[in-house]
Amino acid sequence: MKLSGVIPPVCTPRGADGALDRASLSRLCHHLVDDGVSGLFVGGSSGETALLDASTRLAALDVAVEAAAGRVPVLYGVIETGTARVLEAARPAAAHGAAAIVATVPFYVAPHPAEILAHFEALAGGELPVVAYDIPSATHVRLEPAVSIALAREGYAIGLKDSSGDLAGMRSVVNAVRDLPFSVLTGSETMADIALDLGADGIVPGLGNVDPAGYVRLYSAARAGDRVAAAAEQARLTKLFGIVDVADRTRIGFTAGALGAFKEALAYQGWIDSPSMWPPLGALDDVEKKAVRELVAQASGRGGGLG
CA 149 from chain centre, in angstroms, equals 21
**Residue 130 contacts by C-beta under 8 Å, 6 or more apart in sequence?**
100, 101, 102, 103, 120, 123, 124, 156, 157, 158
Helix (H, G, I), strand (E, B) or coil at 260: helix
For the stretch 202-261, pLDDT in tens is 999 999 999 999 999 999 999 999 999 999 999 999 999 999 999 999 999 999 999 999
Domains held by the chain: number: 1
Helix (H, G, I), strand (E, B) or coil at 184: strand
Phi, psi torsion values for 268, nearest 5 degrees: -60, -40
Residue 256 counted as domain residue:
no
Residue 55 counted as domain residue:
yes
Residue 49 counted as domain residue:
yes
| Spatial separation of the C-alpha atoms in residues 267 and 290, rounded to whole Å | 12
Helix (H, G, I), strand (E, B) or coil at 207: helix
DSSP assignment string, 70-130: TSS-EEEE---SSHHHHHHHHTTTTTTT-SEEEEE---SS---HHHHHHHHHHHHTSSS-E
For the stretch 74-110, pLDDT in tens is 999 999 999 999 999 999 999 999 999 999 999 999 9
Residue 238: CB atoms within 10 Å: 15
Residue 213 counted as domain residue:
yes
Residue 173 counted as domain residue:
yes
| Spatial separation of the C-alpha atoms in residues 170 and 31, rounded to whole Å | 30
Residue 43 counted as domain residue:
yes
Rounded (10°) CA dihedral 112, 114, 115, 121: 150
Determine which one of 76, 156, 161, 268 is catalytic.
161
Confidence at 300, pLDDT banded by 50, 70, 90: confident
Residue 269 counted as domain residue:
no
For 54, counting Cβ atoms within 10 Å of its Cβ (0-12 exposed, 13-18 middle, 19+ buried), the class is exposed
Determine which one of 133, 156, 215, 219 is catalytic.
133
Give binding residues for pyruvate as ranges: 204
Q: 2 catalytic, yes or no?
A: no
For the stretch 110-145, pLDDT in tens is 999 999 999 999 999 999 999 999 999 999 999 999
Residue 259 counted as domain residue:
no
CATH number of residue 167's parent domain: 3.20.20.70
| Spatial separation of the C-alpha atoms in residues 33 and 71, rounded to whole Å | 8
Domain that holds residue 183: 5-226
CB 273 within 8 A of CB 263: no
Q: 161 catalytic, yes or no?
A: yes
